[in-house]
Amino acid sequence: MQPLPRIDDQPVPLRMLNEFTYCPRLGYLEWVQGEWADSHDTLHGEFIHRNVDREDKKAIPEAEELGEDSLHARSLRLENAELGLVALVDVLELDGGIATPVDYKRGSVPDNAEHSWEPERVQICAQGLLLRAAGYNCSEGILYYSASKRRISIPFDEPLVRRTRDLIAEFRRVAQTGQIPPPLVDSPKCPRCSLVGICLPDETRLLANLSEESLSSEDPEKEVSPSNFRPPRAALIPRSDELPLHVTEQGARLCKDGERLAIEYQGERLGSFRLIDISQVCVYGNIQMTSQALAELVDRDIPICYFTQGGYFRGITHGLSHRNVELRIRQYAVAGNPHQALIIARAFIAGKIRNCRTILRRNRRKEEEQSLDDPFGNPTGEALPPSTTQRETDGVIERLKHHASEALRAESLESLMGTEGMAAKLYFGEFAKLLKNGLHFEGRNRRPPTDPVNATLSFLYALLAKECHVALQATGFDPMLGFLHRPRYGRPSLALDLAEEFRPLIADSTALSLLNTGELSKTHFVQRAGACSLIPTGRKALLTAWERRLSGEITHPVFGYVLSYRRVIALQARLLGRFLLGEIPAYPAFKTR
């Protein structure tokens, strides 16, 4: 592995020491990899601290200047290079030359012998050590539990001081190794942890114990499924309450209105949305945005995605890059190694081909069910022998199975792309037969698309690339450097890589639904200079169907719990990171049955 940025000269934030004591993996994720996620517990904790976190302007006397008077100070910053610690003390009580730190805690006093938890005792003891290092007389600390409204005294005895110093040294040692600690085993701490969807404790342990062959196998008997093992606990939230905001009205203007984002057009307000309900802002064509709205979205880590009016994904605005430099260093190293990059690229393509088979098989079953239910074409109601078209489809499905296995054995990127090209030709040949309402499709064309089917697919593929870009960026990847799609100016190669396995399941299935149900018809498209594009009502119908599809829930084929497709994309980005950092033996492409 490439050398990591040195942290031996950086003080350990006391909040991170608390997390490391609670769970070493959590401390590593938050301090070294820069991960963070809010939960009800973290937000409630911020509310409890709302007063003590206000910086106190009064001067604090030096230790040798202390008199007999009492003094209270809030939000006091302490740092010591020898201890290697930096802390923000909630409240410091100075009384007759004695300094006592007070730490505010949400919840009630624990029902145990110490009336406190070890991470809390270590945290308050570390504050005492910092005060001692600054020359103050400090022999105990106070934990204040807001729900119980009780103060618990924590004496700084020798065992606690030794334990605190040992944990500081151990945290620094672990952080410098560049190896994330393993997840806890069936711990009750995990389900309520705010980082459970990032840490993936049960999922990582499960996959780490499986072989590379079982994770990438195309043989149903060897394939990983929840029936073969104890599935992970369903700790992930199936879908988020936050949703993307799509703005397509040309000439519209986005502005900040308190805690809301408003959309205006020619002085008229078209609508406004709470910022806490927005996960992304997607603008199409000529949409303006005030600097105040832009700054607020960046501060809240809400990405702003830019598309052309025709749906081409142009770029993204976001805050500072994710702090997980460790992951990007590993990504660059693997992308620069043709053999290692090929291993990941194989999984992307094999997963895509497998999912192409799934789409064809699902629609093959629908045709059979319709023929059984048709009283005119099938008066007996008995199963009919397969038609010529159905036999051809069965043959294509079998050949796609062969190509999926072939992709896993490809010895070069060129060979892999050749296999993918042959599979795509077979798939789209059958895809055309699934279309109804007199729509013709003679294969993929783009830049520009020349017919309604290709215009629909191109728009949906751009939306999928955006979704993968956002998920990868949130994980800490550089979306511009891929393993399958080679780097090219302006192309989010890794986002296109991750999109491959989802193209059939999300984009192609949405296109079929839109076109076959009549939600999109020929009247929703316009032809200009040999190019075909959607008119505004068509774009609205497509975006509505797209969000409906991403919000749709599916049972995960490996983990057995239910997630929305948008959550699945984010989960796959996390699993790719777990593979690159060596926690699991292979990248498990998402393949449905």
Collapsed DSSP state (helix, strand, coil) of residue 519 = coil
Contacts of 255 (CB under 8 A, 6+ apart): 261, 262, 264, 289, 290, 292, 293
Closest CA relative to residue 358, chosen from 215, 238, 512? 512
218 labelled ligand-binding: no
242 labelled ligand-binding: no
Cβ 544 vs Cβ 551: under 8 Å: no
**Exposed/middle/buried for residue 448 (C-beta within 10 Å: 0-12, 13-18, 19+):** middle
Residue 33 neighbours by CB distance under 10 Å: 20
Give the single-character DSSP code of 528: E
CA distance 399 to 401: 5
Collapsed DSSP state (helix, strand, coil) of residue 143 = strand
Alpha-carbon Rg for the chain in angstroms: 29
Q: Which residues of 172-203 are buried (b: 16+ CB within 10 A; e: fewer)?
A: bebbeebebeebbeeeeebeebbbbbbbbbbb
Q: Omega before 201 cis (within 30°)?
A: no
49 labelled ligand-binding: no
Closest CA relative to residue 282, chosen from 550, 582, 561? 550
Query: What's the angle, vertex CA 541, arms to CA 369 and CA 301, rounded to 5?
Result: 115
**255, β-bridge pairs:** 262
Give the single-character DSSP code of 63: G
Q: Annotated binding site for Mn(2+): which residue ranges?
A: 420, 485, 500
